[in-house]
A and B are shown apart, each in its own frame.
Chain A
Amino acid sequence: MTLRLTNIAKTFPDGTRALLPTELTVKTGEIVSLLGPSGCGKTTLLRIIAGLETPDFGSTIWFDNDDVTSLSVERRKVGMVFQSYALFPNMSVRANIGYGLKMQKLSKSEINARVTEVLEMCQLDEFSKRGVDALSGGQRQRVALARAIAPRPRLLLLDEPLSALDASMREALRDELAVLLRKFQITAIFVTHDQDEAMAIADRVAVMSNGRVVQSGTPEELYRNPNSSFVAGFVGNAMHLEGKSAGKLLTLEGGTQHLLSEGSGQNVYVRAEDVRIDEAGSLCGEVETVTFMGTHYRVGIKGIMPNVLTSIFSGQSAPNVGGKVRVSIKPQALMLLPEGEAQA
């Protein structure tokens, strides 16, 4: 199903503008992530799509060719996975998953068959008779997903589905979720504030800030060609090289850096993996911190710009703290973005 949102806005009764007029189209089978810091309006947008929140007058929501704007949540046929999962404590796993089917007034045998199918798909067979209180966080998340998917919704919506889990489990379940969502072959939108989660799961990421979608594209596009300082900072933690630029030269505290194009009026961003510790480098600074990360070191260098510049160092022995290092950055790796919104 194709989802089309036109002119979606939300103003709360107290006058707060949670969402500025927003357009968004999600193609059939596409998995889209709404990514942004808390308070950017991503959950509001999701709840508007679900029908749990009413958008301002003039907003329209299209499921294929049906205008569902005025349809209540129970008639929209969306599957929703809540942050807290909202599993019904008075029902077993089976009854939770079968509830949506019961509401569709399917026959008992049909409900049973469908529930069994979904249980298998989500590898929940062995827990089917349990109460939901007797499940681990990861199992609950799968039950919530199974419950949302069982009635074959037109659209699956997930609100921070991984944030209630322990950090240690989150990564494994993130990959599992990505696999499951593709197995269901369903149009899905999920909200997250975690860029790794968004990149790992989504086909396309819509980055939101202050009630607006600031950029939308594949994870690679966002990472390589951010259109604003905000996106550069939020996706992939790009660092702002603070200095004075004149022509194609950027003057920093610790030396000068060549740019590929005219730099005045632009902010220059660089990612840690493009900052190389190199004896022939044009920038010079002092090592402030060295953190061993297993496959590499994260080296914090001061004296090049007012803030600490982080470099990913993959050699065997890291430079010593307090020692002087020279750093080089390839001009191609720099991102020149118009001055404007501050970094997140």
Chain B
Amino acid sequence: MLNSRTKLIQLTVTLTACAFLLVPMILSVMAGVTANYFQGISSGLTLKWVFRVWELYADSIFLSLWLAIACLISTLIIGLPAAYGLARHPGWLSRILEEFISLPLAVPGLALALALLQLYGSMKGFRISWTFILVGHVLYTLPFMVRSILAVLASMDLKTLEEGAASLGASPWQRFRDIVVPNAMPGILAGSLTVVTLSIGEFNLTWMLHTPYLKTLPVGLADSYASMRLEVASAYTLVFFVLIVPLLMAMQWASARAQRIAQ
């Protein structure tokens, strides 16, 4: 009796929490496909607003995707060797470096953006180019990539594995290619998905760095909320969900896998 009552309470709390999270989302998405929000669902369902969003903000969507890919490539190029170096030479210096790379996690995006603006704001060409936003995104996402790879690398005896490969005649580059990268792959995958998801969803820093011609997906979202009719803004949310939710799910899966291996 007591048991079933406890269960009932648990179920109620869980469902209430879910409703609390889901209802606004559903309402917002519904608003995006309703012909006229003020008349309600009776006015009929339509994809008109979604197409309108596409007309108005396709550039933002492509810019965001492009930025995410560029950001991923940059963090891979910087992060993989960095994580490898940190894993290969553990010590106080590596600890300090790791903390240093992780600093952008603790500093608010706005402060980071302000610092970038102060430093590079006067370089006109750079200031108005998409690479300026990229720099911000790389700074912000790099720690996720490095930590994710480092966790996997630290869980294996990298030094001995490399010595084993070396004794079989593998050069440093062959060792990196054949041993380090394949074994770090779960961490690389988890890190990559995190970086892409964060880059697509980043608003704080991007909002400070963007120019009217360079609106990313979340910046466009804010713009549509501020200046478009409610249905368009809601349809925008829908588009945003469609892009980000699969990425989020893939990220969950990849990091769970990386953690299993790191244990």
* Per-position 1/0 for B178-209, Cβ under 8 A of A: 11001101000000000000000000000000
* A103 pairs with B169, CB closer than 8 A: yes
> Which residues of chain A are within 8 angstroms of B174 by Cβ–Cβ distance?
103
Report how far A48 CA is from B169 CA in the complex, Å.
Answer: 16
Q: Which residue of A lies closest to B160 (CB)?
A: A86
Complex Cα spacing A244 to B124, Å: 95
- B180 → A minimal CB distance (Å): 10
User: For residue A147, which residues in chain B have a CB less than 8 angstroms away from its CB?
Assistant: 164, 168
Q: Whole-angstrom distance between the alpha carbons of A74 and B166 in the complex?
A: 5
Looking at A25-33, A75-83, A278-286, the stretch in contact with chain B turns out to be A75-83
Q: A103 vs B177: C-alpha distance in the bound complex, in angstroms?
A: 12
CB contacts (< 8 Å) of B169 on chain A: these are 74-75, 77, 100, 103-104, 151
B163 near A80: Cβ-Cβ < 8 Å: yes
Does A90 lie within 8 Å of B183, measured CB to CB? yes
Query: Across the interface, do B165 and A79 meet the contact criterion of CB distance under 8 Å?
Result: no
Answer whether residue A50 sits at the interface, using C-beta atoms and an 8 A cutoff: yes
Min Cβ gap A75→B in Å is 7
B178 CB, nearest partner CB in chain A, Å = 7
Determine whether A88 belongs to the interface, using a CB cutoff of 8 Å to chain B.
yes
Within 8 A of A (CB), among B142-173: 156-157, 160-161, 163-171
Task: With A99-B178, A103-B174 as known contacts, state yes or no: A82 contacts B163, CB within 8 Å.
Answer: yes
| B156 nearest CB neighbor, chain A only | A89
**A336 to nearest B CB, angstroms?**
44
Q: Are A74 and B164 in contact (CB under 8 A)?
A: no
Which residues of chain A have C-beta atoms less than 8 A from B178's C-beta?
Answer: 88, 99
Per-residue CB contact flags for chain A residues 141-164 toward chain B (1 = under 8 Å, else 0) read 000000110010000000000000
Cβ contacts under 8 Å, A82 to chain B? 160, 163-164
A52 at the interface (CB under 8 A from B): yes
Most chain B beta-carbon neighbours within 10 Å: one of A75, A80, A88:
A88
Among the listed A52, A75, A87, which residue makes an inter-chain contact with B163, where contact means beta carbons less than 8 Å apart? A52
Give CA–CA (A86, B162) in the complex, Å.
Answer: 8
Q: Is A318 an interface residue (CB 8 A)?
A: no
CA distance A80 to B169 in the complex (A): 11
User: Are B168 and A151 touching (Cβ within 8 A)?
Assistant: yes
Which A residue's beta carbon lies closest to that of B184? A90
Q: Which of A72, A84, A90, A100 contacts B168 (CB 8 A)?
A: A100
Q: Is A249 at the interface (CB under 8 A from chain B)?
A: no
Q: A72 contacts which chain B residues (CB < 8 A)?
A: 166
Asked if B167 contacts A73 (CB within 8 A), the reply is yes
Residues of A within 8 A of B161 (CB): 86, 88
Query: Which B residues are CB-close (under 8 A) to A52?
Result: 163, 166-167
A148 to B167, CA, bound (A): 8
Closest to A90 in B: B182
With a 10 A CB-CB cut-off, give which of A82, A90, A147, A148 has the most chain B CB atoms.
A90
A90 to B167, CA, bound (A): 18
Cross-chain contact B182 with A80 (CB below 8 angstroms): no
Looking at B168, B171, B178, which has the most chain A CB atoms within 10 Å of its CB? B168
Question: CB within 8 A of A74: which of B156, B170, B183?
Answer: B170
Residue of B nearest to A76 (CB): B167
A50 to chain B: closest residue by CB: B167
Which residues between 65 and 119 of chain A lie within 8 Å of chain B, taking CB atoms? Answer: 72-75, 77-80, 82, 84, 86-90, 99-100, 103-104
State A87–B157 Cα separation when bound (angstroms): 10
Contact B170 A103 (CB under 8 A): yes
B160→A90 contact, CB < 8 A: no
Question: In the complex the two chains form, what is the Cα distance from A72 to B174 in whole Å?
Answer: 15
Q: Which A residues fall within an 8 A CB radius of B?
A: 50, 52, 72-75, 77-80, 82, 84, 86-90, 99-100, 103-104, 147-148, 151
Please list 19 pairs of residues, one from A and one from B, whose beta carbons are closer than 8 Å in the complex, sorted by A's number. Answer: A73-B163, A74-B171, A80-B167, A82-B160, A84-B157, A84-B160, A86-B157, A90-B179, A90-B183, A99-B168, A99-B170, A100-B168, A103-B169, A103-B170, A103-B174, A104-B169, A147-B168, A148-B168, A151-B168
Known A82-B164, A151-B169; 7 more pairs at CB < 8 Å: A52-B163, A74-B170, A80-B167, A82-B163, A99-B165, A99-B168, A148-B168
